[in-house]
Structure 1
Amino acid sequence: MNEITWCEGPLIGFDTETTGVRTDSDRIVTAALTQDAGARTWLINPGVPIPPGASAVHGITDDIAQRDGVAPEKALAEISEHLNAAAEDGTPIVAFRAGFDLTMLSYELDRHGLAQLPWDQLRVIDPSVLDKQADRFRRGKRKLENVCEHYAVSLQDWHTAEADAQAAVALARAIGRTFPDLARLAPADLHAAQVGWFAEDAASLEAFFRSKGRDETVDRRWPLSR
């Protein structure tokens, strides 16, 4: 009997929308955890102004966050509870460009005096990393909407945390079905492999920058860049 691969088993999608792109100083505004049975979403009052540019992306303004958002401590504690449970039972967490969302979450936990997750126990699957490794010479952009289009994955309400989390899970499954060698890896082995693949890709990008005279350093750490 064939074993069930990770792309056929339970997966939890995770995504955040934020006040900006600085993981060490920006704040989470919305977050979502999704499973096949449904989704849990949070609208958070970040306690700082939401820049107009960020609101234009995800649609959450200061008025909305202050009126309807919950305190960060409450939302973050609930998110941590779900992710701790996933770490304990071995359910993989799927996030597109996971380094951003998980590093942002880690800084937010510190900011609000909450315990860090058992990061060494989490099994993370990042469709962005998988796609680059499996089809590295494909031309074109590799943002979420581009990769979804390539694998014929539906993406509606883009830039809402729930929609992006659901799309990430669908992408992971599609990539696993397209590239069976990836699907056959155990989640722990796949996580470890992605650590190396991400570092290799970062080193390659850094070398490209240097070849163009740009003295830029590309962070090689995944899924936490802190």
Structure 2
Amino acid sequence: MNSWHELPRAAFDLETTGRDPQTARIVTASIILVNGRGETLQHHEWLACPEIPIPAEAAAIHGITNERARAEGGNPAAVTAEVAEVLAGMFAAGIPVLAFNACYDFTVLARECERFGLTVPHPMPVIDPYILDKQVDRFRRGKRTLTAMAEHYGVGFENAHTSAADVAATLSVAAVMAEKYPELQCDARTLHDSQVSWAAGQAASFQDYLRRRDPEAVIDGSWPFRAAPDREPGSVLDPA
């Protein structure tokens, strides 16, 4: 059986209104489907006009201002429905979807779907280079952002923090990792199941570290998305 990185695969990324995936709204979305040789088969792009203002700090990262979103963005419910439909089709076909820090993007999508009364696509199989890198090179110092990992693995990366550039970099980083680490060469569903366990272990380790100073620190190890929390509006989640 060929490994996932030698077969058709997709990548998914969102740019949003904020850092909390439980409350952030979609601003841009990108999905790219490639064949086993990495050649593009489909390229989907969306720009939404969210129902809330885009904060200046978010616009500074992804470059989408409120003015542009209002002038060019689509209806957020329609955009969310189209993104969910494309992803659902990928998963139904057994095509793995790569997403860097997948828990953020799929949690945002789940909350948006629920907000608009849409069916949430079941994310399976998902491949997350962020989780993979923490597993295969767990003691490496430095940041594990997509930009830092692209540099570490020798992948060119321009226009970081646009959804289109991020999906392309995610595909490239994952391909390099799969070639470098034989333990990542397997079928996508097997790797998905492994990442569920790895993410839980990584969260538990980080929680133990934080509890040296804060005995009540809690890190959610759910992956590839998190359930809606039972919390008061405006409260802050632990970071992914």
TM-score range, shorter chain: over 0.9
Q: How far apart, CA to CA, are the structure 2 residues paired with 1:202 and 1:181?
A: 21
Q: How far apart, CA to CA, are the structure 1 residues paired with 2:165 and 2:65?
A: 19
User: What is the correspondence of 1:14-93 to structure 2 with a 5 Å cutoff?
Assistant: 14-35=12-33, 36-93=40-97
Structure 2 residue 120 is the aligned partner of structure 1 residue 116? yes
Q: Deviations over 1:71-101 (max 9, x none)?
A: 0121111111211111111000000000000
- Name the count of aligned residue pairs: 221
Identity among equivalent pairs (%)? 39
Gaps of 5+ in 2: 34-39, 228-240
Match of 1:130 among 102, 124, 132: 132
- Which position in structure 2 is the counterpart of 1:211? 212
Secondary structure of the corresponding residue to residue 83 of structure 2: helix
User: What is the correspondence of 1:133-148 to structure 2 with a 5 Å cutoff?
Assistant: 133-148=135-150
Gaps of 5+ in 1: none
Structure 2 residue 180 is the aligned partner of structure 1 residue 187? no
Q: Deviations over 1:13-67 (max 9, x none)?
A: 1000000012222201000001223421100000211100000001111110000
TM-score (structure 1 length as normaliser): 0.95
Deviation at 1:116, TM superposition (A): 1.4
Deviation at 1:214, TM superposition (A): 5.7
Q: Deviations over 1:174-205 (max 9, x none)?
A: 1110001211x211110000000000000000
User: What is the correspondence of 1:158-197 to structure 2 with a 5 Å cutoff?
Assistant: 158-183=160-185, 185-197=186-198
Deviating beyond 4 angstroms after TM superposition, the runs of 4 or more aligned structure 1 residues are none
Deviation at 1:213, TM superposition (A): 3.6
Structure 2 residue 5 is the aligned partner of structure 1 residue 7? yes
CA RMSD of aligned residues (A): 1.1
- Equivalent residues of 2:2, 2:187 under 8 A apart: no
- Equivalent residues of 2:129, 2:174 under 8 A apart: yes
Letter in 2 for 1:126: D
Structure 2 residue 107 is the aligned partner of structure 1 residue 103? yes
Q: How far apart, CA to CA, are the structure 1 residues paired with 2:161 and 2:7?
A: 26
Structure 1, 147-156 or 98-107: larger mean CA deviation:
147-156
- Which position in structure 1 is the counterpart of 2:98? 94
Q: How far apart, CA to CA, are the structure 1 residues paired with 2:139 and 2:23?
A: 35
Q: How far apart, CA to CA, are the structure 2 residues paired with 1:28 and 1:139?
A: 32
* Distance change >3 Å, CA 22–CA 8, structure 1 → 2: same
Q: How far apart, CA to CA, are the structure 1 residues paired with 2:95 and 2:168?
A: 15
Q: How far apart, CA to CA, are the structure 2 residues paired with 1:63 and 1:214?
A: 45
Q: How far apart, CA to CA, are the structure 1 residues paired with 2:98 and 2:20?
A: 21
